[in-house]
């Protein structure tokens, strides 16, 4: 951490700040410039007292952290990419893993139909929401446990592992009985109790970035899960809120190479939510793979015009199959497999 002192501070002021730094368990290193004095505080910061408190001192102009605040998620701790294994499917390895399925589980026949179709097209994991965090309280809220049962049935028939969202700490155990990957949705990215709870479970977690979550905040949320003892975290970029309204969200693909540089966790991209429009899903899925994503999560519905949620961004099974066909050569061109 670098502590910048105000112009015109006295020698006694500098000493007072240095004393405080020493008391907090760090070593001060003073650099006197022509106009300003800055103090470097040396020592492990994570898990130690937060030096930003020094901004409360009148003589301190600013405290600037130089180290990333996350640890277990960082490349410093683990320089090689981590792989998350789910029933034989490896996320974070050479293979680009496609997760697909409806936004909401609506009925058993719907799930069976979609699961068969996405499997035939090459999807490796089945998605489907049983507990739905809907913006409007009047919108379809999901089939809950009944939906989990339909997901389990679709898994039994197709062999595809299942990813589904868990909304609250009390339902974590129940959802984990049925799901192979627990999804933490964008709205829960800073529900810290829920993060700790899924951290204790040990099941792989698909952590979606919130619509206004910075990448540092996103990685700190991952850190909650890792710190609770669960190393199986998959990050998911799904679009952020910006001024642009011609798409539902702005898919921040910059996040993919940035996350790959900062951390060792697998990164997948959700072009369905990231655009909100089915006709933009295919180009953005290709773009995601081109910039280094380890996988995709895509909404597919047998009849999007009748879907109980997210119909406008859902692909028909035939469009999804076409996407997979177009994706394969792109995957190979960037040196991956599918």
Residue ranges in contact with other proteins by CB under 8 A: 212, 214-216, 240, 242-247, 250-258, 261, 274-275, 279-280, 283-284, 286-292, 329-330, 332-334
Helix or strand run (H / E) with residue 114 = helix 108-121
Q: Considering the complex, what minimum distance in angstroms separates the CB of residue 63 from other proteins?
A: 17
**Cβ nearer to other proteins, comparing 148 with 327:** 327
**Cβ nearer to other proteins, comparing 26 with 70:** 70
**Cβ nearer to other proteins, comparing 1 with 240:** 240
Q: Considering the complex, what minimum distance in angstroms separates the CB of residue 295 from other proteins?
A: 15
Q: What count of other Cβ atoms lies within 10 Å of the Cβ of residue 310?
A: 20
Give the C-alpha separation, 311 to 237, whole Å: 20
Closest C-alpha among 328, 337, 319 to residue 282: 319
The residue to which tokens 């669960």 are assigned: 230
Q: Considering the complex, what minimum distance in angstroms separates the CB of residue 44 from other proteins?
A: 23
**Cβ nearer to other proteins, comparing 91 with 280:** 280
Q: Considering the complex, what minimum distance in angstroms separates the CB of residue 218 from other proteins?
A: 10
Helix or strand run (H / E) with residue 32 = strand 27-32
Q: Considering the complex, what minimum distance in angstroms separates the CB of residue 77 from other proteins?
A: 19
Helix residue spans in 179-252 (DSSP H): 192-201, 215-227
Q: Considering the complex, what minimum distance in angstroms separates the CB of residue 108 from other proteins?
A: 35
**Cβ nearer to other proteins, comparing 203 with 316:** 316
Q: Considering the complex, what minimum distance in angstroms separates the CB of residue 185 from other proteins?
A: 19
142's CB contacts (< 8 A; 6+ apart) are: 104, 105, 129, 130, 131, 132
* Contact (Cβ atoms closer than 8 angstroms) between residue 29 and residue 2: no
Residue 323, CB half-sphere, CA atoms under 13 Å: how many? Answer: 32
Cα-to-chain-centroid distance, residue 311: 23
Cα-to-chain-centroid distance, residue 28: 36
**Cβ nearer to other proteins, comparing 34 with 244:** 244
Give the C-alpha separation, 72 to 78, whole Å: 8
**Cβ nearer to other proteins, comparing 30 with 247:** 247
Q: Considering the complex, what minimum distance in angstroms separates the CB of residue 338 from other proteins?
A: 13
β-pair type (27-32, 37-42): antiparallel
**Cβ nearer to other proteins, comparing 152 with 258:** 258
Q: What count of other Cβ atoms lies within 10 Å of the Cβ of residue 48?
A: 11
């Amino acid at each position: 951490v670098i502590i910048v002192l105000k112009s015109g501070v006295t020698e006694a002021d500098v000493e007072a700040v240095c004393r405080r730094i020493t008391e907090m368990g760090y070593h001060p290193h003073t650099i006197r410039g022509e106009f300003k004095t800055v103090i470097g505080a040396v020592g492990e910061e994570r898990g130690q007292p937060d030096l930003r408190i020094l901004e409360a001192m009148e003589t301190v102009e600013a405290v600037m952290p130089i180290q990333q605040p996350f640890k277990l998620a960082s490349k410093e701790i683990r320089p090689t990419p981590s792989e998350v294994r789910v029933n034989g499917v490896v996320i974070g390895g050479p293979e680009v893993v496609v997760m697909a399925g409806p936004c909401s589980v609506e009925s058993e026949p719907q799930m069976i139909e979609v699961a068969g179709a996405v499997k035939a097209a090459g999807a490796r994991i089945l998605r489907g929401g049983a507990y739905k965090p809907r913006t409007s309280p009047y919108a379809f809220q999901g089939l809950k446990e009944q939906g989990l049962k339909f997901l389990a049935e679709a898994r039994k028939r197709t062999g595809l592992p299942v990813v589904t969202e868990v909304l609250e700490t009390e339902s974590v155990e129940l959802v984990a009985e049925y799901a192979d990957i627990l999804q933490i949705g964008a709205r829960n990215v800073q529900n810290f109790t829920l993060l700790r709870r899924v951290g204790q479970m040990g099941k792989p977690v698909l952590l979606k970035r919130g619509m206004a979550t910075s990448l540092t905040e996103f990685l700190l949320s991952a850190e909650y899960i890792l710190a609770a003892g669960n190393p199986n975290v998959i990050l998911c970029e799904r679009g952020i809120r910006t001024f642009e309204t011609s798409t539902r969200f702005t898919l921040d693909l910059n996040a993919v190479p940035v996350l790959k540089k900062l951390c060792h966790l697998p990164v997948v991209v959700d072009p369905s939510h990231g655009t909100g429009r089915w006709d933009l899903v295919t180009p953005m899925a290709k773009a995601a793979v081109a910039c280094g994503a380890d996988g995709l999560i895509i909404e597919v519905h047998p009849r999007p015009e009748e879907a109980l949620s997210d119909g406008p961004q859902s692909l028909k099974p035939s469009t999804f199959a076409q996407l997979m066909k177009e994706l394969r050569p792109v995957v190979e061109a960037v040196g991956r497999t599918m």
